[in-house]
Structure 1
Amino acid sequence: MKIPKGFRFGGVACGLKPQRRDLALVVSDHPAAAAGVFTINKAAAAPVLDARPRVPAEGIRAIVANSGNANALTGPAGLDDVAVIRSAVADALGIQKRAVLTASTGVIGARLPAMKIVTALPALVDQLGDHADLAAEAIMTTDTRPKMAAREVTLGGKAAVLSAICKGSGMLAPQLATTMCLVTTDAAVTPKALQEALSRAVQKTLNMVTVDGEMSTNDCVFALANGLAGNPRISEPGPDLAVLEAALTDLLGEMGRAMAADGEGATKLVEVVVTGAPGDEAARDCARSIASSPLVKAALFGADPNWGRILSTVGARAGAAGYPIDPYKARVSLQGITVFGGGAPIEFDRDNLRTRMRESRIDVLVELADGEARAVAWGCDLSYDYVKINADYTSLIIQKPDGGVAKDDRVSNYSPAFKRALLAEALKYIAAFSGQIAVIKYGGAAMVKDSLKEAFAEDVSLLKKVGLKPVVVHGGAPEITKTLEKLGERSEFVDGMRVTDAQSLPVVEMVLTGKVNQELVALLNARAAGAVGLSGKDGRLLRARKAVHESGRDLGHVGEVVEVNRDFLRMLLDGGYVPVISPIGLSDEGGSLSINADEVAAAVAVALGAKKLIYLTDVPGILESTPDGQLVRQLTTGDLAHRVQIGAVTGGMKWKAQSILTALAGGVERVHVLDGRQPHTVIAELFTDRGVGSLVTS
């Protein structure tokens, strides 16, 4: 994501949440104009009460935001904690206390342990840089993925950038603000003009998002504009303000859709369009009511084309608010298929529509005949998981002695019925997969965070204990890059492939085989997994030849697999061991070649006749090539090949996709692409009905 000039971001773990980033800092190196939109909840949290009277304003320099604790309904102590944090941030940055804004999100009613935040500030300030991704991760609560985006515009002949990070998954309702959203821009604009543009943009976007109809105590949207783009400062309505507002609206629209798609327990993004309404408020009200209706949301979860619930909702809102709307004149469409019009139901292919409604996005169109107003609202379906998430949200939250909070998520805390259902669901898969070989490509974020490393080791150990035969192929790109940087060497990539020259090859081999491999083997064997660390050179496991990029570019000592020593691996598997393979191949000349770990995993899976190949990545799975980036839960080789052909899959995912196609063509039955940033995704994917990632089959 492109960062506006003069802004720095950071995100660290300060201990408010167990083993996750929970403290973000956004800093402008130049005094910025600030604007804000806040919840209208009368039980507003302390950071909202502190910030609301102070914006719009000039001279704001920093926003510090935490997750894990809402600092809401905590009395005067909550405001005291805000003051302590603002002072500490000001001291750490060498700025005035009035230049600091705060935001919080998390559990309501627990006092915020401010000293945890204060203690973490030195490390957070040292980390500041182009780390919007870390800040976006740090403000997440029940979100499953970070949300961030940027836009570029031209104002007064100068290029300006707008960026946003946000969180939002539950307690989203359309009232002024619906989330924690931090917008930054290097455009020059007065606080008054920025506030007007932000308020209008929020009204059209974030104000039209609903997950559960519940308004949070902490909703806030901040915008900072430091003017470093150098455009003439915008102060009045005109072309430049219109351009800025349009970009802001587009940016917040993307954030709103991302939040709706990531709603608690959501399986589908729902977009509701209402046209022909008698006025703007009527259009917005009807669209939001449809998106909020539990009956409509439940029907969409079940792929039930129950259009009657949609029209009933419209009629109810019209009656309650006194809108001059006649539902009998409406036309209703689902997924582009008309189901009601001319005052009566319209015949449609029910099975076809149900199939279409199993897609990851549902489009609802209600065309009224009572005016010209139009509105769009975004929401999601209502799944079983929403109830599970919220049924125990606070009952399983425990206060730690140091003031932090953690979730006591042991299965023993759940009801007997839940435990029976969970066990029954898992057992049928355990029985089906017993004795099968599963090759796992381990890489990305799962290799960086200690908690994720441990969760992965536990998953692999469990797979072995329930009868599967796991084989692990690991990468190590982040560690390689970090080591090369320490040695003063720059990493170069071509289409996601690292160029490896003679000088960097020994470093690559040392990191992969000598460090990453050995650490992973130790983690697995601490759980009695019987892991054996291997380089592709051991036992001539991976015979390789020099690879050449399709452009003809020389990639250096980069190879591709020619042959896998299947007998060697089978001997280890039959002996009860878990092979852990470093992707270093052996050339026919006896030299080392660095091989893409995705390719190695596919080659190993084909050679062993594995039924399953699993890739851990830094994204939820294979995503739609749309601004929403929706997860594609299931697709075929034809679907994936088409996406590659049209350029919808690029960079590192392009090579992963090609490896997937190779594996399936070679006889692997099922390939799973999972989010390695989440713990225990391997177990959740293999042993539950719905899974958590993307499944590709032939």
Structure 2
Amino acid sequence: MSQTGVCYPKGFLANGIHCGIRKNKSKKDLCLIYSENICAAASVYTQNKVKGAPIAITKENLSNHLAQAIVVNSGNANTCNSNGEQIAREMAKLSANALGIQANDMIVASTGVIGQKLDITPIANHIQELADGLSVEGGIAACEAIMTTDTTIKEWHGSFVIDGKECRIGGIAKGSGMIHPNMATMLSFITSDVDISTEMLNLVIKEVADETFNMVSVDGDTSTNDMLTVMCNGQAENPQIREKGNNYAIFKEALFRVAKHLARAMAKDGEGATKLLTCQVVNAPTKQAAKHIAKSVIASSLVKSAMFGNDANWGRILCAIGYSDADYDETTIDVTFTSVAGSVDVCKQSQGVDFDEEQATQILKQEEVIIYIDMNQGKETAESWGCDLTYDYVKINGDYRT
């Protein structure tokens, strides 16, 4: 094994174990991510009015924009519980004691079934074991421990240079269903050894979330527990990023690369999905219009169903554009389907054109399909990601609690 994901930057350790929250002993359900020193930290959260209890505790702990560790459980969302905040606080306290840090330096997150009481006992019984197993090779185990209906781990890491100093960044995420974020994703944790002020970190996390995680839709449901957290411990020893400028732009691009990779991975692993869909909107009149159109198309159940059936039903795409909350000219739109099997134009100037249905079917049969929309009325662009809607999505969610 090697340093990957959240353990790729200097000074970060992680671990994941099965503690007993989930009945299946082969599935990990408790995760810990730890920095050797205090970090600048920032989070964005779900806009759902019904929120998981851990979000309240994390907001409270991050009021000073500092953190040193993250504890996460899967198998239970700790949402809509009368003692939910008490349990979340206890998770922070138990983790902090095991690590020898302050409880208010803990970030807490949970994912799983909503409305079921979370027993603190398995966490209390295994938290020291979890902490003792922290290592620079623990990124994969940590990623496995936050998964629910995910079929594959989602992690990425890379490096960048600021004023001659190599800086590293890495992240993990979980999310397969109940994905239609209005801030970030189901859960994503990103670490970096870059030195950046808390003010700039809080600014950049929102900018990047809006261009990546907020442009994903699997099923149109915004979760109660969505959280994106970024922790930066400064061990790269670069001059601290304190203002918008070239160094800020370099870090923003690095954070964008991680977030985009994780966002695409969630869309590709959508519950029951057979293909990754990308909607690219170009030449839109405004940035806002481009984003609204891209998200509207990728979130359309009818578009998703057509893509599952390999049906080049471009009328559904025009329909989704038409009910998007955007200001544009509806008479100039071109639509093209693209994949490794080729490209086919199906709509010009908002009207149908003759095309080879068999060729279109072969293009749509591929594992990754691009829905390319040229608005022909400006210079702005946007990109969104999603998946097809299949029979298996209903099967998975029909017996989710069992």
Match of residue 96 from structure 2: 90
The two structures, once aligned, show a CA RMSD in angstroms of 1.2
Work out the CA distance in 2 between the residues paired with 1:359 and 1:56: 46
Percentage of matched positions with identical amino acids? 38
Q: Secondary structure at 1:105's aligned position in 2?
A: strand
The SS at the match of 2:292 is helix
Note if contact 2:58-2:106 (Cα within 8 Å) is conserved in structure 1: no
Q: After the TM superposition, which residues 204-243 of structure 1 pair with which residues of structure 2 at under 5 Å, given as runs?
A: 204-243=211-250
Which amino acid in structure 2 is aligned with residue 332 of structure 1? V
Q: TM-score scaled by structure 1? A: 0.55
Partner Cα distance (1:201, 1:329) in 2: 30
Residues 140, 168 of structure 1: 8 Å contact kept: yes
Residue 371 (structure 1) shift: 2.4
Aligned residue for 1:5?
A: 10
User: Residues 359-374 of structure 1: matches in 2 within 5 Å?
Assistant: 359-374=366-381
Partner in structure 2 of residue 106 of structure 1:
112
Q: Secondary structure at the match of 1:224?
A: strand
SS in 1 for 2:76: coil
Corresponding residue to 1:272 among 266, 279, 295: 279
**Range moving further from structure 2, 366-375 or 83-92:** 366-375
Given the superposition, is the C-alpha separation of residues 55 and 133 from structure 1 closer, same or farther in structure 2, using an over 3 Å criterion?
A: same
Asked if 2 retains the 8 angstrom alpha-carbon contact of 1:56 and 1:192, the reply is no
Structure 2 CA distance, aligned partners of 1:329 and 1:89?
A: 57
- Give the structure with higher Rg (CA): 1
How far is 1:226 from its partner?
A: 0.4
Q: 2:126 corresponds to which letter in structure 1?
A: A
CA contact (8 A) 2:162 2:238 kept: yes
The answer to whether the 8 A contact 2:46-2:181 is kept is: no
Separation in 2, partners of 1:295, 1:329: 22
**In structure 2, what is the Cα distance between the partners aligned to 1:60 and 1:263?**
31
The structure whose RCO (Cα within 8 Å, separation 6+) is larger is 2
Output the amino acid matched with 1:342: Q
Rounded to whole Å, the distance in 1 between the matches of 2:59 and 2:222 is 17
**What is the deviation of 1:326?**
2.6
Query: C-alpha separation between the residues in 1 aligned to 2:87 and 2:163?
Result: 42
Residue 560 of structure 1 corresponds to none
Q: Which letter does structure 2 place at the counterpart of 1:140?
A: M
Number of the residue aligned with 2:138:
131
1:660 maps to none
The question of whether the paired residues in 1 share the 8 Å contact of 2:143 and 2:173 is answered with: yes
Cα distance in structure 2, aligned partners of 1:25 and 1:83:
15
Deviations 1:311-357 (A, max 9, x none): 1111122xxx3x43233211000113111103421211110110121
Q: 2:349 aligns with which of 324, 342, 354?
A: 342
| Paired amino acid for 2:229 | F
Counterpart among 358, 374, 378 of residue 351 in structure 1: 358
Instruction: String of CA shifts for 1:69-113, please: whole Å, max 9, x gaps.
Output: 0000112x0000011111111111111111111000000001111
AA in 1 matched with 2:123: I
Contact persistence 2:172–2:190 (CA under 8 A)? yes
Q: How many angstroms apart in 1 are the aligned matches of 2:109 and 2:273? A: 25
What's the CA shift for 1:181? 0.3
Distance 1:358 1:188 in 2: 45
Match of 2:328 in 1: 325
What residue is the counterpart of 1:162 in the other structure? 169
TM-score (norm: length of structure 2): 0.95
Report the CA distance between 1:176 and its aligned residue.
0.8
Quickly say closer, same or farther: Cα 1:101–1:265, change in 2 above 3 A. Answer: same
Give the Å deviation of 1:59. 3.9
Q: Output the CA distance in 2 between the equivalents of 1:375 and 1:53.
A: 34
Partner of 1:147: 154
The answer to whether the 8 A contact 2:42-2:198 is kept is yes
Q: Distance in 2 between matches of 1:6 and 1:32?
A: 10
Post-superposition CA distance 1:163-207 (Å, at most 9, x none)? 001001011113111220010000011111111111111110011
SS in 2 for 1:111: coil
Deviation at 1:50, TM superposition (A): 1.4
Report if aligned partners of 2:291, 2:382 keep a CA contact under 8 Å in 1: yes
Distance 1:55 1:238 in 2: 26
- Name the residue aligned to 1:16: 21
C-alpha separation in 1, matches of 2:12 and 2:65: 16
Q: How many angstroms does 1:271 deviate by? A: 0.1
Quick one: which amino acid aligns to residue 19 of structure 2?
C
Contact kept? 1:264, 1:386, Cα under 8 Å: yes
Cα distance in 2 for residues equivalent to 1:198 and 1:4: 18
Checking the alignment, whether the CA contact within 8 Å between 1:36 and 1:56 is kept in structure 2 is no
Query: Structure 2: how far apart are the matches of 1:59 and 1:199?
Result: 17
SS, match of residue 68 in structure 1 = strand
- 1:220 Cα deviation after fit: 0.1
1:296 corresponds to: 303
Q: Could you tell me which amino acid in structure 1 is paired with residue 182 of structure 2?
A: Q
Higher helix share: 1
Of residues 122, 133, 139, the one that matches 2:128 is 122
- Secondary structure class of the residue paired with 2:224: coil
* Aligned positions of 1:539-688 closer than 5 A: none
